[in-house]
Structure 1
Amino acid sequence: MAALVGRRALLQACRVHFTDSHCASKLGSSYFASRRYVGSAKSVFPPVRFGASARQYSSEAKDDLIVRYLDGEDHGIVVVGINRPKAKNAISKNLVKMMSEAVGDIKKNNKVRSVILCSLVPGIFCAGADLKERAKMHQSEVGPFVSKARALITELGNLPMPTIAALDGAALGGGLEMALACDIRVASNSAKMGLVETKLAIIPGAGGTQRLPRVIGVSHAKELMYTARVVDGIEACRLGLVSHSVEQNKNGDAAYLRALELAREINPQGPIAVRMAKLAINQGIEVDLATGLAIEEACYAQVIPTKDRLEGLAAFKEKRHPQYKGE
C-alpha cells in the first residue's frame, strides 16, 4: 500500500516537473544585460572560449550576485557567482533576495542543464550569516530572516537540474549549508568548511542539521557540529562531504574549473533524463526500497514519450553523437 501511495504521489510530482521543464517563457534579448565580468576577482569566472550573458540581481548592492548563462558549446551551463568581498560573501538580506530571484529564474528555464554555484572572491566561498547585519536586527527580525534564508536554500536544493558547488575557499555555517543543498560539491585542498554555529550558542538554521547527516552519516555529522570543527578539502573528501578535492592553482579557481569540467560532462546527456534521475534519487532516498522502486518507475514513465529518447536510439543506430533538445 505504501508503495502504491508513493507511486501515485510521485506520478503527480513527475508531471509537475516535466511540465515545468517544458513551459518556460522565452527570454528576450533585453532580459539579460550582456557583459563580461570585470573586477578584482578575475581569477574566478576565468575567460571562456564562448560568450556569455549575465544578469546582476540588483537591490542595495548591485554587484553582490552575478549570474552568467554560458554560450557556445557550454550553452546550458549557468554560473552563479557570489561577490561580497568586503563581507567575505556573508549572507545578507540583500543577497538572499537576489539569490531567490536568480534561483526562481533558473528553475523556470528549461534550457538550463546544470548550475555551478561559486564565489567571485578569492579565498572565500561564503563565511555564513552576515553577523554585522544580524547584530543590528531586532530579536523579532531574526526568525523571519532565517526562515527566508532556509527557504532560499531549500529552493536551491529543489532545482530540477544538477547543481554543483565549487568551494575554492572557506565555506562556514550558512555557506556550507548552501553547498550541502547542491547535488555535487568540489573543493580545493586548502578550502575550509564546517558548521560552526555552536560557537555562537546557536545551531545551523538553514538545513545543516538535516543535510549534513544525510551526506556524511549521523555520527560524523554530530561530531562536526558538536565541536564546531573546521576541516580542509582533503578531510572533507575523506568524509564524503565533497566529491572531489583538487590542488589549488595560482589563480585560486581550481575547484571552479573542476566543477566546470563536471558540468561539461553533464551537458551532452539527455536533460529530461538527468532531471528525472535527480528526482528519483532525491525522492527515493527518503523512503523504503519498495516505495523507491515505485518512484523510479514513475520517473521512468516520464522519459518514454520524449523526442530525446527516440533521438538517443537513432543516434546509437547511426553511430553518431545524439543531439538532445530537452523535448
Structure 2
Amino acid sequence: MDYENIYIEEENNIATITINRPKKLNALNKRTIAELHEAFKELDDDKDIQVIVVTGSGEKAFVAGADISEFAHFSQEEGKVLAAEGQRLLFNFVDNLCTPVIAAVNGFALGGGLELAMSCHFRIASDNAKMGLPEVSLGVIPGYGGTQRLAQLIGKGRAMEIIMTAGMVDAKKALDYGLVNHVVPQDELLPLSLKIASRISNNSPVAIKYAIKAVNAGFKYDVNGYETEIDAFGTCFGTDDFKEGTTAFLEKRKADFPGS
C-alpha cells in the first residue's frame, strides 16, 4: 500500500509511525485506519523491528478523533459494521500485536485517538496533551474499544465520569489516573519514547511476545490469565532466546537474542 496519511521511520530496530493529517488534526478516517493496519502488520512481520512508536504530526494533536463526516448518515447496521471492522483492523489488532507498541501522545487524543492510544501497550504524553471520549455529545458512544479499555486502565468510576461528561483530562490528571506512564515537555516526548523503546529492544522479543499475550489474557473474561502465563512460561523454555539468555547470564555477558 502507498501511504498517504502516515509515514514510517526506522532506526536501531525501532519504527516510528507518524499519522500525518495535520489539517484534520490527524483524525482517523477509513483510509488512515487501513494504512495503519497495513503498517502495523508489515512492521510486526519484520524481524528487525523490535518496538513500534506511534505519534501524530505537528504539535497540536496525536489524533483528535474520527472523521465524523464519513459516518454521520450511517444506519444502525452500518454503525455496527464500522465499529466491528475498526476494532478488527486496528484497535484490537494493535492491542494483540506481538511487537510492543508505545503511544507518544502529543496534544489532543480524543475519541478514536484516545482509543488508539489505549490500544497501544502503554502511553507517554507531552505536557500539553488532553484526552477524552466525547462521543456522547454526538449522540453515540465510543465504538473502538473505549468503554472497555478506559475502565480497565483507570477504573470503572473514573471511566464512567469521563465518558458521561464527554470531558477531557489534562496530562497531569492522566498520569495520576494511570492512563499514561510518563509526562514530559513536548520536545522530550519522542526522545523519551525512543529511549524506553531502546531499553525494550535489548530484551528477548520472543519473551516480550509471550508477556504481552499473558498480560492481555488477564483482561479477557473467557480466558484464565494464570493458565496462559503458565503455558507461555513453559513455552519460553523451548526457545533459542531462553538458551541464549540463560547462557549469557551464566557466562556474565550481554545476551544476543536471535529472536526465535
1:154 is aligned, of 83, 92, 95, to 92
Q: Secondary structure at the match of 2:128?
A: coil
Listed as ranges, the matches of 1:169-208 within 5 Å are 169-208=107-146
Counterpart of 1:270, as a letter, is S
Would you say 1:324 and 2:257 are equivalent positions?
yes
Write the distance in 2 (CA, Å) between the matches of 1:305 and 1:143: 42
Name 2:232's counterpart in structure 1.
299
Listed as ranges, the matches of 1:5-154 within 5 Å are 57-58=1-2, 62-70=3-11, 74-75=12-13, 77-135=14-72, 138-139=74-75, 141-151=78-88, 152-154=90-92
Counterpart of 2:22, as a letter, is P
Name 1:24's counterpart in structure 2.
none
Shift of the alpha carbon at 1:160?
1.2
Q: Flag the 1:90–1:288 CA change in 2: closer, same or farther, 3 A.
A: closer
Listed as ranges, the matches of 1:270-289 within 5 Å are 270-286=204-220
Shift of the alpha carbon at 1:256?
2.1
Would you say 1:241 and 2:179 are equivalent positions?
yes
Would you say 1:310 and 2:247 are equivalent positions?
no
Counterpart of 1:279, as a letter, is K
Name 1:265's counterpart in structure 2.
199
| CA radius of gyration, larger in | 1
Q: Secondary structure at the match of 1:231?
A: strand
Write the distance in 2 (CA, Å) between the matches of 1:175 and 1:232: 15
Write the distance in 2 (CA, Å) between the matches of 1:321 and 1:110: 20
The Cα offsets for residues 280-320 of structure 1, whole Å up to 9 and x where unpaired, read as 1111343599x432221100111101122121122222222
Counterpart of 1:271, as a letter, is P
Counterpart of 2:250, as a letter, is K
The Cα offsets for residues 102-129 of structure 1, whole Å up to 9 and x where unpaired, read as 1222333333321111112222100111
The Cα offsets for residues 209-240 of structure 1, whole Å up to 9 and x where unpaired, read as 01100000000000110101101111100011
User: Superposition RMSD on alpha carbons, in Å?
Assistant: 1.9
The Cα offsets for residues 133-167 of structure 1, whole Å up to 9 and x where unpaired, read as 334x5546544333322222111111012111000
Counterpart of 1:64, as a letter, is N
TM-score when normalising by structure 2: 0.92
Q: Verify the 8 A CA contact 1:89 1:121 in the aligned structure 2.
A: no
Write the distance in 2 (CA, Å) between the matches of 1:97 and 1:312: 37
Q: Verify the 8 A CA contact 1:69 1:79 in the aligned structure 2.
A: yes
Counterpart of 2:100, as a letter, is P
Q: Verify the 8 A CA contact 1:117 1:164 in the aligned structure 2.
A: yes
Counterpart of 2:203, as a letter, is Q
The Cα offsets for residues 45-67 of structure 1, whole Å up to 9 and x where unpaired, read as xxxxxxxxxxxx42xxx430112
Counterpart of 1:320, as a letter, is R
Write the distance in 1 (CA, Å) between the matches of 2:4 and 2:226: 45
Q: Structure 1 residues 103-112 or 153-162, which shifts more?
A: 103-112
Write the distance in 2 (CA, Å) between the matches of 1:256 and 1:192: 17
Counterpart of 1:105, as a letter, is E
Count of residues in Structure 1 that have an aligned counterpart in Structure 2: 258
Q: Verify the 8 A CA contact 2:43 2:49 in the aligned structure 1.
A: yes
Q: Flag the 1:219–1:262 CA change in 2: closer, same or farther, 3 A.
A: same
Shift of the alpha carbon at 1:188?
1.0
